[in-house]
A and B are shown apart, each in its own frame.
Chain A
Amino acid sequence: MAEVYNWQLGRKMPYPFPEAHPQKQFAAVFNINRCIGCQTCTGACKATWTFSKGQEYMWWNNVESKPYGGYPQQWDIRILEQLDAAQQAAGTTATWDSTVTGDAAPYGAYNGMTIFEAAPQMQNVLGYLPPDTEWRAPNFYEDTSTAYKGDDLGISTEGASLPEHQTWFFYLQRLCNHCTYPGCLAACPRQAIYKRPEDGIVLIDQARCRGYRKCVEACPYKKSMFRGTTRTSEKCVACYPRVEGADPLSDGVPMETRCMAVCPGKIRMNGLVDIAADGSWVENPKHPLYHLVKVEKVALPLYPQFGTEPNIYYIPPRWAPRPYLRQMFGPGVDEAIARYAAPSRELLAVLQLFRATQKMIFRFEIEAGPLVHEVPVNGKPWQMYNDTVIGFDAKDREVARLSVVEPVHERPTARLNSI
């Protein structure tokens, strides 16, 4: 195996192929705090790509209620258990070394095993193949919270309050992470899976796939799926015609994917980030995704310890227990929640850009506005300014302009009763 650098783990790790990086990387930030669990994203993907025969159990995008829900069922618990077993067998425990710092190790250094390091002998990746029963009922445990602690009448005596709710659940929105070091690609014995040099999108070549399902077994996020009619595996294609700007609606510039663009909760922002030859993100603080992931560090990778360097980033839910969130998003959770709860002027402005346009935003500018609000947050004073944020597309044309305070429009008396 080759050695590659995984910045999410702050260290090198073995991978079957030597390092090679795309010029740009398909990436997204999901704000879990805002998701209403409506599954519009799920339906949009289904209605675009997976409505045909053999794809009945296929949900390239899904939204599951954590901690109990999962598609396929218990996928994350299963792979965490396997990793844990491998570590116990090796006599190690997985921890994060916070003394390692810097841009190349923003969350410290992970000293546990990745799915590549824990792979069984003569296999490239640790994994398992869920049977059809586990791909059914994709929204099982929807809205199921942890046990409610009430009095005799079932009413909580304390109610719920931050920072951690006693009774909780949250929605986790999932699709293929178009990983930097994809587990699916590492496991395919015939290189039928490839990562595109122009945008880092990971695709399965439908001419070369022979339905071995090594990718289904190896993807720790279980986002490669088997189609029984064609007897090949398929996965999220990142709506590549839209990303390429080839969609008739896209006006020749990269456009956000279907699942991103439809989101009524405005939780998603999708884009392309520039990647340097060494795999790091090219510094670009005025790129909204760079800003959220690298400058503010409010958005974190999902299960970075798997080692695939996933490219969907999550703003963790403010109310969930921190140990659970640290297991899911790594050690950056506490800082991310603190920054999200009391956002900087810039962060608050950038957060307005979510779902303001279908076009991918490559640059933002902020015009300063007046101070409109001052409240204590977590015991400290916090100020809100009515700044205006402007987003620009790939051709640097203005495509979005929003103020932090939503403008109020009053209906004239004559129209009070109109519908």
Chain B
Amino acid sequence: MHKRNIVLFVGIVLGALALLFFNIPIASSQGATLVAARVTEPLPLKDPTAALWQTATPLEVPLSAQAVAAPVLLETNVKAVTARALYNDSQLAILVEWNDTTQNDSMVRVQDFRDAVAVQFPIGDQPLFICMGQVGGNVNIWQWKADWQKDSTAWQDMQTAYPNMNVDQYPFARVAMPAPSEYDDPNYVPAFAANNLFAMPRVSPVENLVAGGYGTLTSQPPAGQIVGGFGAWDNNTWRVIFTRDLATTGADNVSFDPAKLYPIAFAAWDGANGERNGQKSASQWANLQFEGAVAQATQPTSPEVTVTEPAMRIVEPGTPPDTTSTLVVFIILGGLTLLAALVLKARGNWE
């Protein structure tokens, strides 16, 4: 098993480097582009079935089980999501839909996991590793959570999961059946005392996060929770809207200039299958393009040219490399990869 992981890793890195060398951008290896339709009216922030969404072209994004970093669930349930995007002068809204036969919107009992969906954007202009970014290259992640959605209407608590429960008293609380925020002494709800968003009253069903590599995912502080959203489950389908102002401040947020293309990636979790953390379905990078604006900014007469232009080129388009230099480069790449694998092995990350 351990050897196989190294081989897998070496294979993945070699493959990625080969893609790079042959001028295939890793930032958009699918080449798929989600085009945000430009509208003038207010965006349907809480209505996933609004007619306005039909003005946006849907993009089907295939997902597969994350299989690079432990823990891995070999079989995940969400195989694809359908995305649509709208924008106006000030805001962007993304609608993501996927099939899920089970509505998992509670995370109170120990065996309950939630359904969730996330979008990811690199921060800055450099190409980033699809899996949570990398050291020195952060990604901005927005995660919608089914239980947070339900909490927004009514906080789910022990009495929700166990309606027949009975208790004499919860000391140090302001009310008889306290939510974590209703304690006089927050030390008895340490996650709340530590400002962990999971334990705090919901301001949005979407969490705004930043990451720079595996295991580094971090919630932005409460004041930085600037992504709105709404999700509803109907007829075996989740429909989830993410909304955010186009322009933002803060080094950990992607800021949108409609004249540019942005890499975007998707991930989804089926709570019924115990999916959480890296045990999820994830996509490759796609592009997010703002309809109209790109054309105006760069190619007024032929917007379709910019549509096919990948967002993040690693190598400028040029003549293909000749075979001798290809060979040399491959030998160098192979050596580098083995070196990287050995370093990781020595650090104990792989084996």
Contact = CB atoms under 8 A, between A and B. Distances in A.
A232 interface: yes
A230 B190 CA distance: 8
B25 interface: no
Interface in B288-329: none
B277 A121 contact: no
B278 A121 contact: no
Contacts of A231: 107-108, 147, 191, 198-199
Contacts of B190: 206, 230, 234
From B72, B158, B178, name the one whose CB has the most chain A CB atoms within 10 angstroms: B158
A129 B111 contact: yes
B170 interface: yes
B215 interface: yes
B164 to A, nearest CB: 13
A419 interface: no
A226 B349 CA distance: 27
From B110, B165, B173, name the one whose CB has the most chain A CB atoms within 10 angstroms: B110
Interface in B194-208: 194-196, 198-199
22 contacts: A18-B347, A52-B172, A52-B173, A52-B188, A53-B177, A53-B178, A54-B180, A121-B74, A124-B70, A131-B111, A189-B71, A189-B215, A189-B277, A206-B191, A207-B195, A209-B191, A212-B277, A214-B277, A216-B110, A228-B109, A231-B147, A232-B199
Interface residues of B, number: 54
B26 to A, nearest CB: 22
B109 A189 contact: no
A98 to B, nearest CB: 29
Contacts of A121: 1, 72, 74
Contacts of A213: 110, 276
A214 B179 contact: no
Contacts of A212: 276-277
A15 B351 CA distance: 10
B277 A135 contact: no
Contacts of B350: 1
Interface in A227-245: 227-232, 234
A17 interface: yes
A122 B5 contact: yes
Given A124-B70, A229-B180, 14 more contacts: A14-B351, A51-B171, A52-B173, A53-B158, A122-B74, A130-B110, A189-B214, A189-B215, A190-B215, A190-B217, A211-B198, A228-B157, A231-B107, A232-B198
B59 interface: no
A135 B74 CA distance: 28
A92 interface: no
B21 interface: no
Contacts, number: 143
A358 B334 CA distance: 62
Contacts of B108: 228-229, 231
A2 interface: yes
A230 B178 CA distance: 12
Interface string A99-123: 0000000000000000000000111
B237 interface: no
Interface string A27-39: 0000000000000
A135 B5 contact: no
A230 B167 contact: no
A228 B199 CA distance: 9
A227 B109 CA distance: 8
Given A230-B198, A232-B191, A129 B179 contact: no
B71 A229 contact: no
A122 B158 contact: no
B343 interface: no
A187 interface: yes
B250 interface: no
Nearest to A131: B111
Contacts of B183: 52
B70 A123 contact: yes
Contacts of A265: none
A321 interface: no
Contacts of B191: 206-207, 209, 227, 230-232
A230 B189 contact: yes
Contacts of B111: 129, 131-132
A210 interface: yes
Interface string A125-159: 00001111001000000000000000000000000
Given A17-B348, A228-B108, A234-B190, A207 B179 contact: no
Interface string B209-227: 0000011111000000000
A131 B196 CA distance: 24
Interface string A194-210: 00000000000111111
B47 to A, nearest CB: 28
A209 B191 CA distance: 8
B110 A226 contact: yes
A135 B167 CA distance: 17
A187 B157 contact: no
A3 to B, nearest CB: 8
Contacts of A123: 70-72
A65 B277 CA distance: 36
B333 interface: no
A225 B351 CA distance: 29
B17 interface: no
A93 interface: no
Contacts of A207: 191, 194-196
A56 interface: yes
Nearest to A3: B348
Contacts of A124: 70-71
Interface in A44-70: 51-54, 56-57
A89 to B, nearest CB: 12
B135 interface: no
Nearest to B151: A231
A47 B190 CA distance: 16
Contacts of A191: 215
B351 A1 contact: yes
A56 B1 CA distance: 40
B205 to A, nearest CB: 14
B22 to A, nearest CB: 29
A136 to B, nearest CB: 10
Contacts of B1: 121
